[in-house]
Amino acid sequence: MAALYFGLPVIMNAVADNTLKGVAFAFATTFVGSAAGAAGKWVAADVSVPQIVFIQYAICLLVIAPRFLGKPWSNLSTQRGSDHLIRGVAGWLCFYTYYASLAQIPLVDATLLRNTAPLFVPLVALIWLNARVPLLRWIPLVLGFMGVLFILPPAAEQVGWGHFLGLMSGLTLAVSMVGTRTLSRTDSGKNIMFYYFLVSFLLSSPLAFYHWQPIPWQAWPYLIFIGLSIFIAMWLYTKAFSYAKASVVSPINYFAVVVSGVLGWVIWDYLPTQTAVLGALMIVGAGGLSIYLASREDKGA
């Protein structure tokens, strides 16, 4: 009994360390993912969305496939085929609708709508896993969403098709988040990424070939950058959910709004308003509050 008692702080510290690792990986994901989004918006003027998505997943698949060459097929075995399929379809739809919205609305608007995902996570977890989120965890989610509303520019009040696509990217991202966290309990991150890229590549192919058009040579550096960035972002993203719960990691994605705002200012000369700065502070505060609440739960407070 004494051994169990004295071993408890070690276990609790390990859990807390894992949560902090998950948060760190989540922050890194927002930076890499936002850069890829900016590149996607820039190149969307010259390349169709189906082609962007197809090339992105082709590059990701080419990068990860060599890790399985020369190894037994058993390394790819999984008992969660249906969950991989759901997670793959959701991830593919998330990027497809996100790039489609980028072609029609500003980068910040699209990123804001994509980052409504944390608000959908509790609902998705409830429907898919019958899991309930502690009441206090709703506070950073609501605070972050309020920050999103503060950042929305006046022009976004006229909601169009692009805004609907952005919102759909948020909903499908929430499904992807929950699926990644669920799969990480039984499958390796490498397998999760492989099946995700494979499913998404197969889904992307028909649309890309149907909408195929010549790609200007100057667009290729951006497309390659997008593909490699998404691969890195997906690796960071998968690692984040392998260390921490979806309800802990998901509010951190709000920080992508801040990063996209900076990129929008640097690249497209979009200057944030005072209310936008306030919204950004609320978003960062929501992420910090999420970390604090998670650490209290880990310590049994």
What would the pLDDT profile of 47-87 be if each residue is shown by its tens digit? 999 999 999 999 999 998 887 776 666 667 777 778 889 99
- 115 phi and psi angles, rounded to 5 deg: -90, 20
- The answer to whether residue 7 is domain-embedded is no
Where are the alpha helices (H) located in 103-188, listed in sequence order? 107-114, 117-129, 138-151, 161-183
- The answer to whether residue 94 is domain-embedded is yes
Q: Higher model confidence: residue 2 or residue 261?
A: 261
- The answer to whether residue 1 is domain-embedded is no
- The answer to whether residue 24 is domain-embedded is yes
Would you place residue 10 in the very low, low, confident or very high pLDDT band (cuts 50, 70, 90)? very low
Closest by CA position to 51, among listed 187, 277, 196, 219: 219
CB-hemisphere CA count at 13 Å for 280?
A: 15
What pTM, to 2 d.p., does this model score? Answer: 0.74
Q: How many domains does the chain have?
A: 1
Domain that holds residue 85: 15-298
Distance CA 291, CA 118 (A): 14
Tokens found for residue 113: 């709508």
- The answer to whether residue 9 is domain-embedded is no
Would you place residue 154 in the very low, low, confident or very high pLDDT band (cuts 50, 70, 90)? low
Tokens found for residue 125: 């977890």
Distance CA 28, CA 281 (A): 18
Distance CA 290, CA 277 (A): 20
Would you place residue 2 in the very low, low, confident or very high pLDDT band (cuts 50, 70, 90)? very low
- The answer to whether residue 187 is domain-embedded is yes
Predicted local confidence at residue 298, as pLDDT: 57
Q: For a pLDDT cut of 70, what percent of the chain falls above it?
A: 81
Predicted local confidence at residue 5, as pLDDT: 41
Mean pLDDT over the full length of the chain: 79
